Structure 1
Amino acid sequence: MAEIRPIAGWRYHRRLTSQIDNLTSPLFDVVSDKQREALYQNPLNSIHLSVPRGKQPAKAARETLENWKSTGVLVQDQVPALYVYYQYFSLRGSDKTFCRKGFIANLRVYDWPEKVLLRHESTMPYSVSDRTSLLEQTQLNVSPTHGLYTDPSHEIEKYLDESMRHPLYESEDYQGVRDVFSVIQDRAVIQRIQEILRYKQIILADGHHRYEGSLNYMKAQQAANPQHTGEEGYNFHMMYFTNTEAEDLRILPTHRVVSEAANFSEKWLLEQLEAYFTITPVENAPDVNEVILGKQWAFGLLVGDNAYKIRLKPECLQQITWNFPQSIKEMDLTVMHYFIFEKILGIPGPKQVDARNITFQRNFTECMREVLKGEAQFAVITNDISIETVKKVCYSGYTMPQKSTYFYPKVISGFVFSSIADEEFRTPFDPGFQQPSQTTAPS
C-alpha cells in the first residue's frame, strides 16, 4: 500500500513570491559550480538549504532555516494540501510544447524489501551520507524526489487540471522550463487521490540519494525511540508524483566520461574494444547521436579528435557473468558497464558505484569539449531509455548503474518545503487524512 499524506508546507512569505524566479534552485546533483556561485549571492535563495556550503554545511543550513522561520521569510501553511506542479517544456528537434503534470505530497517511507517503492538505480554512499546529515540537522525535506505511479484512467490529472485554474506561482527556471504551481486543500479530492494510489507501487524516478537519506534517518530514529508509533514526521518523505502513462514523460540519455585510466591510449582502447565490439569510424563527431539512435547495444565513442560507433558483437552477450535475469543482461547499460568498465577498465561492477574517474554528463557538446581539451580520456555516448525499460528493471528487483536515467525536466527546489519536526509535522487535520494500515488490496 502506497500511503500518501497532504503536507502543511513551508513556503516563502507572500511578500517574496513576486521574486520566486530568484528564490528557486536546481537539485543538488545537477547544479553546476557556476550556477551555485550565482545563486549563493542571493541570501534568500533556497540553495542555502538544499546545497549549503561551509566547513559544516548541514549545520549552516539549520542555522539559515531557523533564521528564515524566525524572521518570517518562510511561513507554514495552516491547512494541509497537495501541491500541484506543472512543467511546460520543449525538446530540441521538436516544435511541441510538452507539459508534465504532477503533485507534491508526503509518502510514507518504505524499506526496499516492502516493494511499495521500487528503485531502478544504485546509489553512491557518500552522497547518501550528505543527504542524511542535512535531514538530521534541518528536519526538513527541501527538494521533492520524483515518484511514478501508473494510472491509465488519468483520473488524478482531472483534479490537478481543476486546481491549475488558480495558480499560486508561475516561474521560468534555469532549464528554460515554465513551472506553474497551485494547491489542493479540498478534503474529498485529497482522499480520492489517496484512494487511487492506495494499492499501487511507486517507482522512484529521481532522487535515490535523498530518499535513501530519509530511509536511513527513519531507521536510526526508530531504533532510538522506544515509543515509536509510525506517525512521527521522520516516517514521511516529500515526493513529486507523476503518471507513467502520461505522454509527456521524458527520459534523456546520460553519457559517461572517463579520466585517469592507467596506461591509457586511443590505440590501446580500440584494441581492447575490438574483442567485444564492431568499431566503425564516424567522420563527423556531432553525428554520433544519430548514428547510434535506436540501435541495440550501440554506443558512441569520443576519444582524442576521433569519433566511433561501437556495437556489441551479439555472440559476446553470453559472456556476461553478472547474476542478472536475461532481460537485464540484454540492456544497453548492462552491456556498457560490463564490457567497457569491468572487462576493459578493470573496475568490478560493485566498485563502479565509487569510481571517481567515471563521471556522468547529459550534455553531448560538453562531452566533446572535455575530450577535445584533454580534460577526459574518452566519453561513451548512450541512447535514451524508455519508461518501459525502467519498469522492467524495477519489477525485476534489480537496479541499473547509478545515474542511468535523466528524467527531464528536473524538479526544482524552493516552491514548498516539508518539515518532519513533530511540532510542525502534526496538524489538527491529520486524522482526516490517515489511511488504515492495510498492506493488501481487497479481493
Structure 2
Amino acid sequence: MPTSTGLQLRPFRAVRYDPAGAGELSTVICPPYDDIGPAHARALCRRPHHIARLLYAHDPQAAAGRLERWLQRGVLVRDTRPALYVYQQQLGPRVLQRGLIGELTLSRGGSPSVLPHEDVQAHVVGQRAAHMAGLRAQLEPLLLTYRSSERSADRVIADITRRQPLAVAHIGGITHTLWASTAQAEQDVVTRHLEGCQALIADGHHRHAACRQLSAQENRSSWHSGLALLVDSTTHPLRLTAIHRVIPGLEPDKAAVAAADVARVRPLPHGPQRPGPGELVLTGAGRAWSITDPDPRALDDALAGRPPQWRDLPAAIADHLLLACAWSVSDLPGAVQHVHDVHQAASAVAAPGQGTAVLLPDITEDTVRQLAGEGVLLPRKSTSFGPKPAAGLALRVLDTP
C-alpha cells in the first residue's frame, strides 16, 4: 500500500488489439470517453470490433461477453510478459506527450501520493464502477501528472522509444505510439524515479473514485490498483485550459443586465476575446461583455459554505455567482453545455437565438496543485488537461475469478 514514499507503478500484461484479427489499429481505437459526442459514439459503435462497442455499452454484462469473444477469437490478445509501457503522442515532429502506463497502486486510506483536484458526482461514480466491475476491465488509463527531479528514467525511456514499437495508430493527425519495457533493470530505474513523487489527477476523477469504491467492497482486491498513464510535467508538461459554459436558453442581452447587479460589466466593442486573468467574457448574438470585480457581498452569498479559495476561481464565479444567482439557471441535464475550446464556445452562440456563452480564463497547474495539496477541490468542469490518452491501445483486463 503506498504511503508518502511516492507512487508505485507495477508492470502488467496488457490486452491489445491484434491487427491480424481486428484490422488497422487506427480504425478500432478512439479518443477518450468524454471527448466524443453521442452521434459520433453511435457511429463508432457500428464498426465490428471498435473499442466504442465496449466503452459506450449500456449493458456491462453483454459487453463482458463481447470482450471475452474478442479474446477467444484473437481480436484482442494478452501480452505474454508483464511490462511497463511507454506511450507517446506526436504531431508531426513535435512530441506532445510522453509517459508511462502501468498498474498504479491506489491508496485505500487517503494516501497523499495521488491528489484529486475536482469534485465528483456520486451517480457518475456509480455508473463507472458498475461498468468496470461488469466488464472486469479498464479500457482507458487515468491521466496523472507528476514532477520528478530524478532524471535517470528519462534516458531509459528515451532508449525504449528508439526500439521497434508495439503499436502505432493515427487519430486526427496525432500519432499514438506504444512501446514495452520488460527488462527488470529498466523497471527498477522507473521505480526509483517515482519514489517521493506525488501525482495530480489530470483526467479520470470519476474512474479513480470508481476504483476506490470497488476496492472498498469485499473481495475486490483486484481494484486496489488501477490502469494509469503517468506523465512527468518537468519534461513533458500537459496543456491546461479552461472549460467554457454555453447556456442555450439564456438571452445574452438579459444576461448582461442581470450580471451587472453582481459584478462590473463592460461592453467589448470588437466582439468576444479570450478572457484575461480575473475576467470572464459573456458573449452571444455577435455581442460580448467583459465581467470583472464581483460584488463582495453577492460573492459571499453565492459561495456560502464553500472554501474561501473559491472566491478567486473563474469556474466558481461562473457557476455560482452568475449561473445560479444572477441568472437562476438550473443544474438540470442540458441546461448548461461544457465546451473545451474557446472558439467553439463563442461560435456556438454567434447567431441570434442560440443562447449565451461564458468564456473562462485559464488557470495554472501550480494553482491547481497548490489547492489540491491543501485539500481544496475545484468546481466540476474547471480544467481540461491534455492531450488525453486514446482508448483501446492498452487495456487492463482482470483474470476470470
1:385 to 360, 363, 376: 363
- Give the alignment of 1:51-62 within 5 angstroms: 51-52=56-57, 56-62=58-64
Is this contact kept in 2: 1:46–1:414, CA < 8 A? yes
Question: Do the aligned partners of residues 373 and 33 (structure 1) sit closer, same or farther apart at CA in structure 2, a change above 3 Å counting?
Answer: farther
Given the alignment of the two structures, is residue 298 of structure 1 paired with residue 276 of structure 2, yes or no?
A: no
Match of 1:39 in 2: 44
Counterpart residue identity of residue 380, structure 2: Q
1:276: which partner in 2? Answer: 262
Partners of 2:208 and 2:347 in 1: CA distance: 33
Structure 2: distance between partners of 1:376 and 1:156: 51
Q: 1:323 to 1:45 in 2, by over 3 A?
A: same
Distance of aligned partners of 1:314 and 1:373 in 2 relative to their CA distance in 1, 3 Å threshold: closer
- Counterpart CA distance in 2 for 1:418 and 1:396 is 32
Matched, 1:125 2:125: no
Structure 1 Cα separation of the partners of residues 358 and 106 of structure 2: 36
Contact 2:261 2:326 in 1 (8 A): no
User: Can you give the 5+ residue segments of structure 1 that lack an aligned partner in the other structure?
Assistant: 91-95, 424-443
Q: RMSD across aligned C-alpha pairs, in angstroms? A: 2.6
Q: Deviations over 1:53-88 (max 9, x none)?
A: xxx432231121011011111111121111110111
Aligned with 2:89 (options 87, 91, 94): 87
**Which residue number in structure 2 is paired with residue 239 of structure 1?**
228
- Partner of 1:394: helix, strand, or coil? helix
Report the Cα distance in structure 2 between the residues aligned to 1:66 and 1:244, rounded to whole angstroms: 37
Measured in 2, the distance between the counterparts of 1:393 and 1:49 equals 35
Higher mean alpha-carbon deviation, 359-368 vs 317-326, is at 317-326
Note closer, same or farther for the CA distance 1:314–1:244 as it changes in structure 2 (3 Å cut): farther
**For this pair of structures, how many residues does the alignment match?**
394
Distance in 1, matches of 2:166 and 2:153, equals 19
Q: How does 1:381-420 map to 2 (within 5 A)?
A: 381-420=359-398
1:209 aligned partner: 206
Deviation of 1:16 (Å): 4.7
- Identify the match of residue 66 of structure 1 among 65, 68, 72: 68
d(CA) in 1 for partners of 2:47 and 2:23? 15
Q: Secondary structure at the match of 1:8?
A: coil
Change (3 A) 1:375 1:152: farther
How many Å separate the matches in 2 of 1:299 and 1:255?
Answer: 10
Secondary structure in 1 aligned to 2:110? helix
State the shift of 1:317 in Å: 8.6
- Report the secondary structure of 1:195's partner residue: helix
Tell me the residue number matched to 1:169.
167
Identity %: 20
Are the structure 2 counterparts of residues 247 and 323 from structure 1 closer, same or farther at C-alpha, using a change threshold of 3 Å?
farther
- Give the 3 Å change call, closer, same or farther, for CA 178–315 of structure 1 in structure 2: same
Which residue does the alignment assign to 1:429? none
What's the secondary structure of 1:288's corresponding residue?
coil
Aligned partner of 2:33 among 16, 25, 28: 28
Residues 291-370 of structure 1 correspond to what in structure 2 (within 5 A)? 292=275, 295-313=276-294, 319=300, 321-323=303-305, 326-346=308-328, 356-370=334-348
TM-superposed deviation, 1:252: 2.2
Q: What is the aligned partner in structure 2 of residue 288 from structure 1? A: 273
Q: 1:84 to 1:192 in 2, by over 3 A?
A: same
Of 183, 195, 217, which aligns to 1:186?
Answer: 183
In structure 2, C-alpha distance between the alignment counterparts of 1:302 and 1:149, rounded to whole Å: 36
How far the C-alpha of 1:325 sits from its partner, in A, is 5.3
Q: Determine if contact 1:297/1:335 at 8 Å carries over to the other structure.
A: no
Q: Supply the AA of the counterpart residue of 1:66.
A: E
Shift of 1:270: 1.9
Provide the C-alpha distance between the structure 1 equivalents of 2:109 and 2:240, rounded to a whole number of angstroms. Answer: 23
Which residue type is aligned with residue 116 of structure 1?
S
Question: Is 1:15 paired with 2:20?
Answer: yes
Write the distance in 2 (CA, Å) between the matches of 1:213 and 1:82: 23
Maintained 8 Å contact 1:177/1:409: no
Find the aligned partners of 2:175 and 2:364 in 1 and give their Cα distance.
24
CA separation of 1:18 and 1:302: change in aligned 2, threshold 3 A: same
How far has the Cα of 1:376 moved from its partner?
4.9
- 2:319 alignment partner AA: H
1:241 and 1:277 mapped to 2: Cα distance?
40
